[in-house]
Structure 1
Amino acid sequence: MTHAFRPGLDRVAAYKPGKPAPVDGAGRSFKLSSNENPFDPLPAVLRSITGALPGVVNRYPNLAAPELTQALADRFDVAPENIALGAGSVEVAGQLIHALTAPGDEVMFAWRSFEAYPILTRVAGAVPVEVPLDADARHDLAAMAGAVTERTRLIFICNPNNPTGTVVGAAQLAAFMQLVPEQVLVVIDEAYVHFDRDPGSPDGLEYFRRYPNVAVLHTFSKAYGLAGLRIGYAIARPEVTAHLRKVALPFAVSQLAQVAALASLDVEAELTERIDLIVRERERVYAALAELGLPAVRSEANFVWIATGARSEAIAAGFDLHGISVRCFPGEGVRVTIGAPEENDAVIAAAHSLLVGAA
């Protein structure tokens, strides 16, 4: 039987998740390809999840998620109407595209950036506009401003950027906002904001308060360690969030995810200790890779980008031999997630071995 599929699907690339970790000769295996938090949720969060299990799995979740919505509103000093939830910030990004674009409208983002942006855009029938990063692997905001057309509806700024870990400066973003028409929504995707220690980075919430055409995306997947439960949210104007709820997948945010997110907000002080450890480990890994002569880029996320160009596939294969899976972008570079200290030790040792073997 021959099916008539929707035109344009042949241009949609399937999302490629981080591959499972291989096993080295010593039986070790380290999956550092998906930017996952190496630690389980905190004990109080786990207790909340297990305590909520009875009577939850067989029931639909509360679609409005009033407790979590209110907690987030209190946390960021916004109104509950400013919050829209989704199954991870990626699903909320999809909501934004579906709510704000019609077929043929344009969605702009830097490239390379989060791989889901072009997929979500094409699935919605919109046109992705990819603006190359600058020579320092950062958003080229001047070029992005120059690429705005009458068809531009959304601009995603991934800050820190995935996969390069770079950030835009607050002054540059402010200048950019002066050039973007008010009818274009600028989405500051802060999935990795908890790991950002650059004092010059913009605060997305500050820009949301200052500009009527800014929305901010956050997730519980990274710093909070809830990637498997799928929960994220947008902070935006009520007229935006109202439409996001219309296009959201019903019941996508499970009751367990809501409970876990609420519990995570209650233990943020303890969580900060883990985030600080990941940041220290990131700096250690970056310094070691740079000292070895690898073209590592200073990161403000929970990963390090190595701009290995044509050598990328060979470098990734070399890490495989040491039981380490990394995210390879052929012809561009490899991204190495920051894991637990022993995993990061393995990365440094493998990089040394690869370079010695290539010498």
Structure 2
Amino acid sequence: MNPVLAPAASAPLIRREVAGLPGYDPGADPDEVAALSGSGRVIKLSNNESPFGVSPTVAEAVREAVTSGVSRYPDPMGKRLTEAVGESLDVPADRVVLGNGSENILELLCQAVLDPGDLVVTQAPGFALHETFPRVMGARVHKVPVTAEFGFDADAWRDALAAGPKLVFLANPCNPTGAMLDAGELAQIVAALPESSLLVLDEAYGEFARTNPAYPDGLEALRGLNRPWIVLRTFSKAYGLAGVRVGYGIASDTALVQALDRVRTPYNVNQPAQAAAIAALADRTHLADTVRRTALEIARVADRLREAGLRVVPSSTNFLFIDTGRRSDEVAQALHRAGVIVKAWREPGYETYIRASLSTPGDNDVFVRCLTEICAKDKT
């Protein structure tokens, strides 16, 4: 018989930085929502996944990798994938680093760079892990707010950067708002950066934004700068590979890649993921089709929600940030009862907002109908 362990026996061992962290919110469990709603089908709009699947070439690459490769460890350096990424972007392969999703590279950067007490600057509202990973390392985090119209606040950024942060996490486009910085705004941030700061430009949703002529290609903007930077991208969003977890970074120099290699686990990107990413990178037609269909739905759904009287932040991504005018967790619970999952935003100042990634037109119509009915009911 196993002994009964005291539930708090390990509590004194946990670092205080870790003990005070909030847990990551992945959104509601689909099985629980199905049981709550009594619906056999749940519409999941909480994780910014692609509803359009992967291309046939990606599916075949994964099948082959599973059949022939899962009994062996993957290439720890991901040589074929880093070469494919390097060739597609005209950068040397030794300046490409791979991660188990781009968020893994965020974690590696914090492990490799931050000391306790270091300052990190990021956005508000923003991606939770841009704050969580630095806090794990004992760093201080300053969040630069957007303007009342969710725009770029140049003065606030200049003030924050003047404090000399060691790391700067900048998402373009931004999660959760979907808003983007144009070339001039990005240039202002770069110009204000101290030479000792490492700029981390997170372009997880960049494929969706590149259809906008005003969107700056971060790699091209930073390529010639003699200062430390890294651009992060992922196959989880527009490429539809969220389930296999593979992201990558393009760094200013090989020394930064080598530092990240020292702190990452040796086999952090599995073999099916590497094979899928290589195939996805080569299928530009499927990527373009996904981006086109997503843009059509973003525009259509945003227009319908605005017509219903809701505030919707203009989005350059595959999701919408929506002010419901009431507590977001209550709205999310009401949607769960209808079989729809969204992300209730709880960041201070934005507790009435939900984030909803878009799905197929039929699913999106259900979401719009349910959300507008819930909000209309609250007004009566």
TM category (shorter chain) comes to: over 0.9
Which of 8, 11, 22 in structure 1 is aligned with 2:17?
A: 8
Q: Which residue of 2 aligns with 1:318?
A: 334
Contact 1:14 1:119 in 2 (8 A): no
Structure 1 residue 344 corresponds to structure 2 residue 371: no
Q: Distance in 2 between matches of 1:132 and 1:296?
A: 18
> How far is the alpha carbon of 1:138 from its aligned partner?
3.6
> How far is the alpha carbon of 1:132 from its aligned partner?
1.8
> How far is the alpha carbon of 1:76 from its aligned partner?
0.4
Q: Could you give the per-residue CA deviations for residues 179-235 of structure 1, whole angstroms, max 9, x where no partner exists?
A: 111111111100001111332222111122132333110000001111111110111
Contact 1:188 1:215 in 2 (8 A): yes
SS for the counterpart of 1:33 is: coil
Q: Which residue of 2 aligns with 1:182?
A: 195
Q: Could you give the per-residue CA deviations for residues 322-342 of structure 1, whole angstroms, max 9, x where no partner exists?
A: 210100013241001111111
SS for the counterpart of 2:166 is: strand
Q: Which amino acid aligns with 1:200?
A: A
Unmatched runs of 5 consecutive residues or more in structure 2 = 1-8
Q: 1:59 to 1:96 in 2, by over 3 A?
A: same
Q: Which amino acid aligns with 1:307?
A: D
Q: Which residue of 2 aligns with 1:228?
A: 243
Contact 1:110 1:140 in 2 (8 A): no
Q: Which amino acid aligns with 2:20?
A: R
Q: Distance in 2 between matches of 1:27 and 1:57?
A: 34
SS for the counterpart of 1:147 is: helix
Q: Which amino acid aligns with 1:269?
A: T
Q: Distance in 2 between matches of 1:20 and 1:285?
A: 24
> How far is the alpha carbon of 1:250 from its aligned partner?
1.8
Q: Distance in 2 between matches of 1:310 and 1:144?
A: 30
Q: Could you give the per-residue CA deviations for residues 53-96 of structure 1, whole angstroms, max 9, x where no partner exists?
A: 13422211101111111110010011112101110000011111
Contact 1:207 1:214 in 2 (8 A): no
SS for the counterpart of 1:339 is: coil
Correspondence list, 1:1-359, <5 A = 1-2=9-10, 3-21=12-30, 22-23=33-34, 24=37, 27-148=40-161, 152-196=165-209, 197-211=211-225, 212-237=227-252, 238-308=254-324, 310-330=326-346, 331-358=351-378, 359=380
Identity of aligned residues (%): 35
Q: Distance in 2 between matches of 1:41 and 1:253?
A: 18
Q: 1:138 to 1:248 in 2, by over 3 A?
A: farther
Contact 1:73 1:83 in 2 (8 A): yes
SS for the counterpart of 2:134 is: helix
> How far is the alpha carbon of 1:133 from its aligned partner?
2.1
Q: Distance in 1 between matches of 2:39 and 2:160?
A: 51
Q: Which amino acid aligns with 1:75?
A: S
Q: Distance in 1 between matches of 2:224 and 2:149?
A: 28
Q: Distance in 2 between matches of 1:351 and 1:265?
A: 36
Q: Which amino acid aligns with 1:14?
A: G
Q: Could you give the per-residue CA deviations for residues 261-290 of structure 1, whole angstroms, max 9, x where no partner exists?
A: 001011122221122101111111111111
Q: Distance in 2 between matches of 1:113 and 1:253?
A: 26
Bigger Cα displacement from structure 2, 330-339 vs 346-355: 346-355
Q: Distance in 2 between matches of 1:30 and 1:232?
A: 26
Contact 1:96 1:244 in 2 (8 A): yes
| Runs of 4+ with >4 A deviation | none
Q: Distance in 2 between matches of 1:26 and 1:90?
A: 33
Q: Distance in 1 between matches of 2:128 and 2:168?
A: 15
SS for the counterpart of 1:128 is: strand
Contact 1:282 1:303 in 2 (8 A): yes
Q: Which amino acid aligns with 1:96?
A: L
Bigger Cα displacement from structure 2, 298-307 vs 129-138: 129-138
SS for the counterpart of 2:213 is: coil
Q: Distance in 1 between matches of 2:65 and 2:19?
A: 43
Q: Could you give the per-residue CA deviations for residues 303-338 of structure 1, whole angstroms, max 9, x where no partner exists?
A: 000123543223222222221010001324100111
Q: Distance in 1 between matches of 2:273 and 2:56?
A: 15
Bigger Cα displacement from structure 2, 29-38 vs 14-23: 14-23
Aligned residues, how many? 359
Q: Distance in 1 between matches of 2:220 and 2:49?
A: 27
Q: Distance in 1 between matches of 2:352 and 2:103?
A: 23
> How far is the alpha carbon of 1:244 from its aligned partner?
1.2
Q: 1:309 to 1:125 in 2, by over 3 A?
A: farther
SS for the counterpart of 2:144 is: strand
SS for the counterpart of 1:84 is: strand
Contact 1:56 1:255 in 2 (8 A): yes
> How far is the alpha carbon of 1:100 from its aligned partner?
1.7
> How far is the alpha carbon of 1:128 from its aligned partner?
1.6
